[in-house]
């Protein structure tokens, strides 16, 4: 594969001069790089009528990346506007999320609601410790099931491990270590927080553990009140790589793209931990220690995008020794990560190394439909979609129907489906068993879905229910998944 490095751009501070990937950098000739943090509110209005945005400080672009056409500028406008709003709301969102999680954890830390009520009057209330193995995130409060073993079937083992690992990635290190070590009886390898060079914060989380000869890497998805994660999701920056196609910039930044070097094959000086390089190095060590070991990549939401992109960067770096040991990629509610060319590139690489790719989508989940597939950016999924309806019946489709989903005519069916899901949540324990009983917190979210249908469908709980509902192997349900 031809790899090109170009001369240095003053605006982007990225390397740009011809060389080979083995020695230097892998960056892009065509790109759109948005910097919402330096844009003013007036700049946002300029986007709608300006054809020379590349001259603005907040919008850098190179050959082939010009921001032309109103439709293109409109999407850039929405992205920058929302990112600016999230920057201003960062502290309030974090405070609100922390307060909600704290309130949700008071009952378990005090022995239940009745005991908490008694402790309030006696002045013995125990304040939850966020680093404790008892403290759970909002995702953990919505779905408290960690019973991996009882649903551990031969052909579906990897899928069950993947969704549970994706859920676990939202929790703190002590909680994750306790679940892996004492409940699942597996080896806990590490809990990591990685650097985002563009947001200049540690914002990418991953959990790693081992089950016999299978190593699992789970990337954390978008937390409800995490402003930085939401900025990553809605950042429509992109980079086009020689031979690989156009890739979503926000996800690449979260995985470890560097402002000064792009994607050099060899890890930079470890002054700041980048997800891709740190995890790749750990995998190489573990694979060297155990010649029979393989690994899977997984994640929910943003975590799913990072999982498939991790495999993509391994392919771009020709990491054959790791790609041949990659058993599969399992994503749940994953957004789109690149254009059609990138999809074709990935399909060829996965076929070459016999890597299975399972992309799960539940019903009206809005995130897999984003970024919207329009004529401006052309983001598209690739590979088969394992689509499940609200009755948890699965089928293989090429891609979700985006046009139908965003049609105004589809609003009423989505609301009616949300009503059905609320009723179903009350009936499932009687039909399928107590493991499907939902708490009051999740039922509250189901009520909000009557106004915002598609959001609760994105919860990991629904993807957990999908895997629990399958009584035969995935290979039998979805033959030829690559």
- pLDDT for residue 476 is more than 50: no
- Percentage of the chain exceeding pLDDT 90: 50
Query: For residue 6, what are the contacts with CB-CB under 8 A and spacing of at least 6?
Result: 15, 16, 17, 18, 27, 29
Active-site residue (options: 235, 237, 301, 381): 301
Classify domain 30-477 at the CATH topology level. Answer: Rossmann fold (3.40.50)
- Bridge partner list, 30: 240
Q: Tens digit of pLDDT for each residue in 192-241?
A: 999 888 888 888 999 999 988 899 999 999 888 888 888 888 888 888 88
**What pTM, to 2 d.p., does this model score?**
0.89
- pLDDT for residue 473 is more than 60: no
- pLDDT for residue 14 is more than 70: no
CB 381 within 8 A of CB 343: yes
Q: Tens digit of pLDDT for each residue in 48-94?
A: 776 666 666 667 666 444 556 777 778 888 888 888 899 999 999 99
Task: Please give the average per-residue pLDDT across 452-468, as a whole number.
Answer: 90
Q: Please indicate whether residue 374 is annotated as part of the active site.
A: no
Q: Please indicate whether residue 301 is annotated as part of the active site.
A: yes
Check residue 20 and give its pLDDT: 32
Q: Give the residue, 393 or 47, on which the prediction is more confident.
A: 393
Q: Please indicate whether residue 266 is annotated as part of the active site.
A: no
Sign, Cα dihedral of 437, 441, 444, 448: negative
Check residue 363 and give its pLDDT: 92
Active-site residue (options: 248, 317, 381, 458): 458
Q: Tens digit of pLDDT for each residue in 153-188?
A: 555 678 889 999 999 999 999 999 999 999 999 999
- 6 pLDDT tier (thresholds 50, 70, 90): very low
Q: Tens digit of pLDDT for each residue in 296-347?
A: 999 999 999 999 999 999 999 999 999 999 999 999 999 999 999 999 999 9
Check residue 479 and give its pLDDT: 43
- pLDDT for residue 260 is more than 80: no
- 421 pLDDT tier (thresholds 50, 70, 90): very high
- 123 pLDDT tier (thresholds 50, 70, 90): confident
Q: How many CA atoms lie within 13 A of 280 on its CB side?
A: 25
- 375 pLDDT tier (thresholds 50, 70, 90): low
Active-site residue (options: 211, 228, 365, 373): 365
Query: For residue 56, what are the contacts with CB-CB under 8 A and spacing of at least 6?
Result: 39, 43, 46, 50
- Bridge partner list, 331: 299, 359
């Amino acid at each position: 594969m031809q790899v090109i490095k170009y001369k240095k751009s003053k605006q982007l501070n990225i390397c740009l001069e011809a060389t080979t990937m083995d020695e230097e950098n892998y960056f892009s000739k065509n790109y759109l790089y948005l910097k919402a943090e330096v844009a003013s509110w007036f700049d946002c209005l300029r986007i709608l009528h300006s054809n020379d945005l590349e001259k603005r400080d907040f919008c850098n672009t190179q050959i082939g990346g010009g921001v032309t056409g109103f439709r293109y500028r409109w999407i850039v406008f929405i992205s920058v506007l929302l990112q600016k709003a999230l920057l201003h709301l960062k502290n309030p969102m974090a405070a609100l999320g922390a307060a909600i999680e704290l309130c949700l954890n008071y009952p378990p830390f005090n022995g239940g609601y009745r005991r908490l009520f008694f402790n309030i009057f006696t002045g013995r209330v125990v304040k939850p410790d966020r680093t404790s193995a008892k403290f759970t995130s909002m995702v953990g409060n919505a779905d408290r099931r960690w019973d991996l073993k009882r649903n551990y079937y031969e052909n579906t083992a990897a899928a069950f491990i993947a969704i549970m690992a994706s859920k676990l990635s939202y929790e703190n290190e002590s909680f994750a270590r306790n679940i892996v070590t004492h409940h699942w009886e597996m080896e806990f390898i590490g809990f990591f927080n990685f650097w985002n060079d563009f947001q200049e914060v540690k914002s990418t989380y991953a959990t790693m553990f081992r089950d016999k000869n299978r190593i699992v890497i789970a990337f954390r998805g978008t937390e409800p009140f995490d402003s930085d994660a939401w900025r990553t999701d809605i950042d429509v920056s992109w980079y086009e790589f020689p031979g690989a196609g156009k890739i979503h910039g926000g996800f690449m930044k979260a995985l470890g793209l560097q402002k000064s070097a792009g994607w050099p094959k060899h890890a930079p000086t470890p002054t700041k931990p980048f997800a891709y390089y740190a995890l790749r190095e750990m995998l190489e060590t573990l694979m060297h220690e155990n010649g029979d070991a393989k690994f899977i990549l997984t994640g929910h939401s943003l975590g799913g995008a990072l999982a498939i992109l991790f495999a993509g960067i391994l392919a771009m770096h020709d990491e054959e020794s790791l790609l041949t040991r990659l058993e599969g990629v399992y994503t749940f509610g994953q957004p789109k990560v690149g254009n059609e060319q990138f999809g074709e590139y990935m399909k060829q690489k996965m076929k070459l190394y016999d890597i299975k790719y399972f992309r799960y989508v539940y019903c009206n989940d809005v995130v897999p439909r984003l970024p919207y597939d329009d004529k401006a950016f052309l983001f598209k999924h690739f590979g088969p979609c394992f689509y499940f309806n609200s009755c948890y019946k699965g089928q293989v489709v090429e891609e979700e129907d985006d046009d139908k989903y965003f049609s105004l005519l589809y609003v009423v069916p989505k609301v009616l489906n949300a009503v059905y899901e609320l009723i179903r949540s009350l009936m499932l324990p009687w039909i399928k068993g107590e493991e499907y009983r939902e708490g009051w917190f999740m039922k509250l979210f189901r009520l909000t879905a009557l106004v915002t249908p598609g959001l609760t469908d994105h919860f990991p709980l629904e993807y957990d229910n999908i895997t629990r509902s399958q009584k035969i192997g995935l290979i039998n349900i979805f033959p030829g998944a690559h």
